């Protein structure tokens, strides 16, 4: 049997891209597929994926769970388990297209669900926490089942293959979203299984990542104290859980979160002349030392209504941002942006540790 | 000048055609193809569009000109020749270059001139017209890096940690640099007229290519940075 993610560690080059329409206009997933084409050689065919936001307007009040199953029996067992905590409003196979480039596919379903109020009351949990615990439960305890997307009005689509092929496989041209992220994988630590492709997502947070963080184990040990289970040995999984912990559970802002995971050097903090800013960074580094990410990374975090791009503080990976009208583009290479928007202006490279947050404008329908 | 339309061409095909060509070449619709001009020793290549990473790697005498921006690792280990960029340049420009010239009209990303070196008559030169990101001249071992900060309203023309691990070569920054923290193993001082004569030729070339007035460029304080051999580099990441 081929080894799966989590069973082997092979000591990532990657490609990332993202787009957001600040006016909330919905774009098909095709643009992101084309953006990945000029960065083809950054991936090796062992993983590609996309996340789209605003793609399920008809079910926007339900959590959209995307699952991989290894067999029909696993699916039946998992559905029975889901019914103990959720109302399943709609369930279906995720539409795919048979293409030679994508093989060995698991059974792929999606469920639009709402947590049962009686269960929430009984457990004294809020909705989101209950969804997170359910995802962790399935991913760690139910062999052969894996939840790879669990947010509202958003969805992650990923597979083993080159990203351009993965996009075609999932028929992304049929979806329309106000923001998209994309990833091409070159796995360096793990064998490359469908679940290990990016984006990694939890609730409406999704992360695409280029790099290889050296603080993986320190971060994992810290985050596991709070109920998150890292099952795949891939660094992006832990980043996703760190985002959920800092943003949702600790209630930090995006900028503060960036100040934790890409904290400035002590020396840089010492030299800050804005005393309030200096105090903030001292506080964040002191309170959350276990969540500092070291080693190279460039990531794009997707969330409801926006995107955040962030590089490691030493900037050991490339990332550029460009704009055209209300659209903002982020990519590992400028060529990716030029492919879909040749006239993009204001192309710039954010500094290491400097978060770039783009939100849909207030009042825009998403 | 012969034209090659790079649309739909992968990097291997494009570079193969460049190697086979005997004329000067204009590449049209370039979008992300890597290694353009790698190892070429003659000819001029003009690039329209956005070339991919490692443009002019191991360049050995050819002349590459790009109308817009370029990505990362331009001129990686280049030996001779010239790369002219009319836009901005990405990270790690001139990585370990050991000869030739890189002229950039706009800004540079992180780690420009990382581990540049020199040997006898091989002295690489890089001029950045705008500002440079952090870790400028990291581990610089030779050659000359010039940052002009033209059109910059803010006083800082380089990011954090310039000259980290620098142990050879020279850097010229067109600024007083009072607010920049240099590492202990380098010496930063106001450039004299004699210092500036060393970079006069390259500045004249920069001005000719990008239509600047040399007098206006020289009408500003320059800081020259050299390694201090009595206090060698010891650590950045770890003590060893």
Reading chain A (366 residues) residue by residue, the pLDDT tens digits are: 555 665 554 444 699 999 999 999 999 999 999 999 999 999 988 899 999 999 999 999 999 999 999 999 999 999 999 999 999 999 999 999 999 999 999 999 999 999 999 999 999 999 999 999 999 999 999 999 999 999 999 999 999 999 999 999 999 999 999 999 999 998 766 666 899 899 999 999 999 999 888 999 999 999 999 999 998 878 889 999 999 999 999 999 999 999 999 999 998 999 999 999 999 999 999 999 999 999 999 999 999 999 999 999 999 999 999 999 999 999 999 999 999 999 999 999 999 999 999 999 998 888
- Residues on chain A touching B134 (C-beta within 8 angstroms): 315, 351-352
Q: What's the ipTM?
A: 0.91
Closest chain B CA to residue A317: B91
Q: What distance lies between CA A119 and its chain's CA centroid?
A: 28
Say whether A116 sits in a helix, a strand or coil: coil
User: B160 and chain A: CB distance < 8 Å anywhere?
Assistant: yes
pTM: 0.93
List the domain boundaries for chain B.
1-87, 111-240
- Residues on chain B touching A39 (C-beta within 8 angstroms): 32
Element (H, E) at A281: helix A275-287
Minimal C-alpha gap between B5 and chain A (Å): 15
Minimal C-alpha gap between B88 and chain A (Å): 9
Minimal C-alpha gap between A125 and chain B (Å): 44
Closest chain A CA to residue B181: A271
In terms of C-beta density within 10 A (0-12 exposed, 13-18 middle, 19 or more buried), how is residue B161 classed?
buried
Q: Do B32 and A335 touch (CB under 8 A)?
A: yes
Q: What is the pLDDT of residue A10?
A: 44
Q: What tokens does A220 get?
A: 């994992």
What's the farthest any 2 CA atoms get from each other in chain B?
Answer: 55
Q: What is the DSSP letter of B122?
A: B
Q: Are A218 and A195 in contact (CB under 8 A)?
A: no
- Residues on chain B touching A351 (C-beta within 8 angstroms): 133-134, 159
Q: Are A237 and A146 in contact (CB under 8 A)?
A: no
Q: What is the pLDDT of residue A187?
A: 75
- Residues on chain A touching B14 (C-beta within 8 angstroms): none
Among B30, B32, B35, the strongest candidate for a mutation testing the A interface, having the largest count of A CBs within 10 A, is B32
Choose among A231, A241, A234: nearest CA to A191.
Answer: A234
Pairwise CA distance, residues B44 & B62, whole Å? 6
Element (H, E) at B223: strand B223-227
Topology annotation, domain B111-240: Pectate Lyase C-like (2.160.20)
Q: Do B53 and A333 touch (CB under 8 A)?
A: yes
Q: Do B110 and A339 touch (CB under 8 A)?
A: no
Q: Do A315 and B91 touch (CB under 8 A)?
A: yes
Q: Are B72 and B49 in contact (CB under 8 A)?
A: no
Pairwise CA distance, residues B111 & A49, whole Å? 31
Pairwise CA distance, residues A38 & A163, whole Å? 11
* Alpha helix ranges (H) inside chain A: 30-36, 72-83, 117-123, 127-141, 163-169, 216-224, 235-243, 254-261, 266-270, 275-287, 334-340
Q: What tokens does B23 get?
A: 């004329």
Q: Do A318 and B88 touch (CB under 8 A)?
A: no
Q: What tokens does B180 get?
A: 């920049």
Question: Rounded to 5 degrees, what angle do the CA atoms A162, B74, B17 make?
Answer: 70
Strand partners, A320: A331
Question: A-B interface: how many C-beta pairs under 8 angstroms?
Answer: 57
Q: What is the pLDDT of residue B27?
A: 98
Q: Do B52 and A351 touch (CB under 8 A)?
A: no
Q: Do A318 and B109 touch (CB under 8 A)?
A: yes
Alpha-carbon torsion A157, A161, A164, A168, what sign?
A: negative
Strand ordering across the sheet containing A48-53: A154-159, A48-53, A179-186, A13-21, A327-331, A320-324, A345-348
3-class secondary structure per residue, A128-149 = HHHHHHHHHHHHHHCCCEEEEE
Q: What tokens does B43 get?
A: 């000819």
- Residues on chain A touching B110 (C-beta within 8 angstroms): 315, 352
Minimal C-alpha gap between A268 and chain B (Å): 8
Q: Do B133 and A349 touch (CB under 8 A)?
A: yes
A78 is an active site residue: no
Pairwise CA distance, residues A348 & B109, whole Å? 9
Choose among B109, B113, B84: nearest CA to B96.
Answer: B113
Check A5, A12, A14, A329 and give the catalytic one: A14
Nearest to A335 among B31, B91, B133 (CB): B31
Pairwise CA distance, residues B128 & B107, whole Å? 6
Q: What is the pLDDT of residue A1?
A: 52
Q: Are A127 and A120 in contact (CB under 8 A)?
A: yes
Closest chain A CA to residue B72: A318
- Residues on chain B touching A347 (C-beta within 8 angstroms): 69, 88
Say whether A71 sits in a helix, a strand or coil: coil
Low-confidence stretches of chain B (pLDDT beneath 70): 152, 154-155, 231-240
Pairwise CA distance, residues A257 & A246, whole Å? 6
Return the residue matching tokens 């995307």.
A66
Q: What distance lies between CA B240 and its chain's CA centroid?
A: 30
Pairwise CA distance, residues B198 & A304, whole Å? 56
Domains parsed from chain A with CATH numbers: 13-204+298-359 (3.60.20.10)
CB burial of B130-159 (b: ≥16 within 10 Å; e: otherwise) equals bbbbbbbbbbbbbbbbbbbbbebeeeebbb
């Amino acid at each position: 049997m081929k080894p799966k993610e989590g069973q082997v560690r092979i000591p990532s080059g990657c490609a990332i891209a993202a787009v957001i329409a600040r006016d909330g206009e919905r774009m098909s997933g095709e643009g992101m597929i084309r953006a990945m084409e000029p960065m083809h050689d950054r991936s090796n065919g062992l993983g590609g994926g996309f996340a789209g936001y605003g793609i399920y307007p008809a079910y926007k009040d339900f959590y959209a769970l995307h699952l991989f199953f290894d067999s029909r029996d696993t699916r039946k067992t998992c559905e029975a388990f889901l019914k103990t905590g959720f109302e399943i409003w709609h369930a279906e196979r995720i539409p795919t297209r048979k293409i030679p480039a994508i093989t060995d596919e698991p059974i792929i379903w999606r469920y639009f669900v709402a947590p049962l109020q009686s269960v929430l009351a009984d457990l004294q949990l809020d909705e989101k926490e209950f969804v997170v615990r359910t995802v962790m439960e399935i991913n760690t305890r139910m062999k052969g089942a894996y939840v790879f997307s669990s947010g509202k009005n958003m969805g992650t689509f990923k597979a083993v293959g080159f990203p351009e092929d993965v996009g075609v496989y999932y028929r992304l041209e049929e979806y329309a979203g106000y923001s998209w992220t994309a990833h091409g994988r070159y796995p360096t630590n793990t064998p490359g299984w469908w679940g290990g492709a990016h984006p990694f997502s939890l609730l409406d947070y999704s992360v695409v990542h280029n790099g290889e963080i050296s603080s993986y184990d320190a971060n994992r040990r810290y985050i596991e104290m709070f109920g998150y289970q890292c099952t795949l040995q891939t660094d992006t999984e832990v980043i996703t859980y760190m985002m959920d912990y800092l943003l949702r559970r600790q209630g930090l802002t995006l900028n503060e979160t960036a100040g934790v995971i890409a904290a400035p050097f002590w020396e840089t903090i010492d030299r800050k002349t804005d005393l309030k800013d200096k105090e903030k960074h001292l506080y964040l580094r002191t309170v959350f030392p276990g969540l500092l990410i070291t080693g190279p990374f460039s990531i794009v975090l997707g969330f409801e209504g926006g995107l955040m791009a962030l590089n490691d503080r030493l900037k050991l990976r490339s990332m550029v941002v460009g704009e055209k009208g209300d659209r903002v583009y982020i990519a590992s290479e400028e060529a990716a942006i030029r492919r879909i928007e040749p006239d993009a202006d204001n192309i710039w490279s954010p500094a290491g540790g400097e978060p770039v947050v783009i939100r849909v404008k207030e009042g825009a329908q998403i | 000048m012969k034209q090659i339309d790079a649309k739909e061409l992968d990097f291997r095909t494009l570079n193969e055609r460049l190697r086979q060509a005997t004329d000067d070449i204009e590449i049209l619709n370039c979008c992300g193809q890597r290694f353009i001009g790698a190892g070429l020793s003659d000819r001029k290549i003009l690039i329209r569009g956005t070339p991919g990473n490692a443009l002019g790697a191991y360049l050995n005498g050819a002349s590459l000109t790009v109308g817009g921006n370029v990505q990362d690792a331009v001129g990686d280990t280049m030996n001779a020749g010239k790369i002219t960029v009319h836009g901005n340049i990405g990270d790690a420009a001139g990585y370990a270059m050991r000869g030739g010239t890189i002229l950039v009209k706009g800004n540079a990303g992180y780690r420009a001139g990382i581990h540049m070196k020199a040997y006898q008559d091989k002295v690489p030169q890089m001029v950045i017209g705008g500002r440079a990101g952090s870790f400028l001249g990291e581990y610089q071992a030779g050659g000359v890096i010039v940052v002009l900060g033209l059109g910059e309203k803010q006083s800082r023309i380089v990011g954090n940690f310039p000259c980290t691990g620098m142990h050879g070569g020279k850097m010229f920054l067109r600024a007083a640099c009072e607010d920049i923290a240099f590492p202990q193993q380098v010496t930063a001082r106001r450039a004299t007229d004699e210092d500036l004569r060393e970079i006069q030729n390259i500045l004249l070339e920069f001005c000719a290519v990008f239509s600047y007035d040399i007098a206006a460029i020289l009408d500003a304080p320059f800081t020259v940075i050299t390694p201090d051999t009595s206090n060698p580099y010891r650590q950045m990441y770890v003590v060893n």
